[in-house]
Homo-oligomer: A and B are copies of this chain.
Amino acid sequence: MSYEEKFIFEDRTRWQACGEGMKRQIMGYGKDLMLVKIDFEKGAVGTMHTHPHTQSSMVVSGSFEVTIGGETRTLHGGDGYFVAPDVEHGVLCTEKGTLIDTFTPCREDFL
């Protein structure tokens, strides 16, 4: 897979381990944008962290307790959340499912 690859197929894309009970696939990226799919087992934790990238995310399935800048909400399939640069955030998966995380610029540290 490469920058600005047009078509990205799930069954030909590598899964990366990214923590206990979590794995991710990079489903598209260019210098200024990246889309990442993350599968969570129930109880998996995306620990609190920050990054300089802007992030917009959506819950595809399952349920997640999402904390952003000290506020926590429970989100379900179809809900979204937005993280401004350098704002601390994290998730707890309360029902097995999938998140889409998108970033600008690209998370070069994921490549």
Residues of A within 8 A of B (CB): 4-10, 27-30, 32-35, 37, 54-58, 60, 66, 68-69, 71, 73, 75-84, 100, 102-104
Contact = CB atoms under 8 A, between A and B. Distances in A.
Given A33-B102, A100-B100, A104-B33, A6 B58 contact: no
Overall SS of chain A's interface: strand
Contacts of A69: 6
Contacts of A73: 6-7
A102 B56 contact: yes
A80 B70 CA distance: 32
A6 B82 contact: yes
Given A58-B35, A73-B7, A30 B82 contact: yes
